[in-house]
Amino acid sequence: MKKILVTGGTGYIGSHTVVELLKNPDYSIDIIDNLSNSKEHVVDLIAEIAGKKPNFIKGDLLDFELLKSLFEKNDYDIIIHFAGLKAVGESVEKPLEYYENNIQSTINLLRLVRTDKPTDFIFSSSATVYGEQDSPKCVETMQTGTKLTNPYGRTKYFIEEILKDYANTNPNFCATILRYFNPVGAHPSGLLGEDPNGIPNNLMPVVMRTYTGEIPALNIFGDDYDTPDGTARRDYIHVVDLARGHIASLEHSKPGISIYNLGTGLPTSVKEIIAAFEEASGKKLNTNIAPRRSGDLPECWADPSKANAELGWHTELTIADAIRDTLNYLNKQ
Ligand code: WQD
């Protein structure tokens, strides 16, 4: 039996990953989450889907004493670290909150990782660490950390560097950095989906709330980019494919630092996302053309070939699947 600690496991990506982890009878799972951007009820939804209930600890990773007592009671073989603040715009307004929360929580975890036996550590990173590159197609060997446009992205970059430095001190540390592109979609059961607290920043939750009428109209941030339809292009990956990427990386963990892009390798524009959603829902969305959002890149998508080759992982779900599953989730709320 392998003991796994999943931080942020009631969140959007964390919960979908726990569902996939529970398919393995050899995994015993503890979720720790402070519920700052999720609900405890997600634990029951995970159990309903998976037929098994993970343990849940309500707690904050900044509470070192709580974390220390958890590690004294549990000998974790694997840590999957999702917990973190992740709103790009909010990070510009509250940089100290982002640096303290995202970085200190990771350091607290690293202080408790055992050095006398192998421990797998999977870190939820982001394509944001690439910043502006000469090519919109991101490869793991590219220089990261330059021209980052917000504190959120910088926390992800700094944590990647901290993991690299820590790995040099602990030969039993088997770290995998997974750089997510743009997660979208929901679990096909309709029980789990993206449900951020407050006003969403990301495109798909805004599309969802425009569809339900919570948001009167979707602002398209710029239609004058040098792209086929003038709107910015991103790599939208179904959250279930993303979750499965975590399972694949666990099965290939090794000492030191391994870095993988988790994306489809296909760029999709804002207008294409809107058109696909209108097609699937049969409802025209109200949209406005608004000025470009500061910090946005015209284009960014993954070269996933390293994860494909080394992890044997490929995305299998499409944008249409993600929109179908999102509508199914919305209709069940
Ligand atoms: C996508 C595109 C917007 C909203 C960020 C983080 C990344 C990850 C995902 C956490 C852009 C456009 C958006 C809207 C719009 N974060 N857009 N109107 O900025 O690519 O990535 O979120 O996991 O780390 O950097 O994602 O969904 O905010 O934007 O036109 O109301 O949609 O301009 O071109 P982004 P996004």
Domains for the chain: give ranges and CATH numbers: 2-184+237-263 (3.40.50.720)
176-198: pLDDT as tens digits: 999 999 999 999 999 999 977 77
How far is 42 from 87, CA to CA, in rounded Å?
21
Nearest residue (by CA) to ligand 1, atom 13, is 203
Report the DSSP pairing between strands 268-269 and 233-234.
Answer: antiparallel
Q: Directed axis angle between helix 41-50 and helix 12-21, to 10°? A: 30
Report the DSSP pairing between strands 119-126 and 287-290.
Answer: unpaired
Residue 59 corresponds to which amino acid?
A: G
From the CB of 249, is ligand 1 less than 6 Å away?
A: no
E strands, the chain, are 2-7, 27-33, 55-58, 78-81, 119-126, 137-138, 173-180, 182-184, 218-221, 233-234, 236-238, 256-262, 268-269, 287-290, 299-302
CA 25 to chain CA centroid, nearest Å: 24
Nearest residue (by CA) to ligand 1, atom 19, is 296
Instruction: Please tell me the pTM assigned to this model.
Output: 0.97
If you write DSSP's letter for every residue of 216-267 in order, what string do you get? S-EEEE-S-SSSTTSS-EE-EEEHHHHHHHHHHHHTT--SEEEEEEES-S--
Going from the Cα of 312 to the center of ligand 1, the distance in angstroms, rounded, reads 28
**How far from 212 is each of 29, 225, 269, 327, CA to CA, in Å?**
35, 28, 22, 10
Q: Looking at residue 198, what is its pLDDT?
A: 78
Please list the active-site residues: 152
Q: Looking at residue 108, what is its pLDDT?
A: 98
From the CB of 293, is ligand 1 less than 6 Å away?
A: yes
Closest CA to 81 of 149, 180, 2: 180
From the CB of 142, is ligand 1 less than 6 Å away?
A: no
From the CB of 270, is ligand 1 less than 6 Å away?
A: yes
How far is 280 from 274, CA to CA, in rounded Å?
10
Shortest-distance atom of ligand 1 to CA 234: 20
CB 66 within 8 A of CB 60: yes
Going from the Cα of 203 to the center of ligand 1, the distance in angstroms, rounded, reads 5
Q: Looking at residue 295, what is its pLDDT?
A: 83
Closest CA to 22 of 1, 47, 56, 57: 47
How far is 177 from 304, CA to CA, in rounded Å?
14
Cross-strand pairs, 32: 7, 57
From the CB of 99, is ligand 1 less than 6 Å away?
A: no
Going from the Cα of 61 to the center of ligand 1, the distance in angstroms, rounded, reads 27
Q: Looking at residue 294, what is its pLDDT?
A: 84
From the CB of 88, is ligand 1 less than 6 Å away?
A: yes
240-254: pLDDT as tens digits: 999 999 999 999 999
Q: Directed axis angle between helix 151-167 and helix 105-112, to 10°? A: 20
Residues of the chain with confidence (pLDDT) below 50: none
Closest CA to 201 of 6, 12, 8: 12
- CA torsion sign, 288 to 290 to 293 to 298? positive
Q: Residue 68: how many CB atoms within 10 A of its CB? A: 13
- Provide φ and ψ at 292, rounded to 5°: -55, 145
Closest CA to 174 of 107, 81, 77, 255: 255
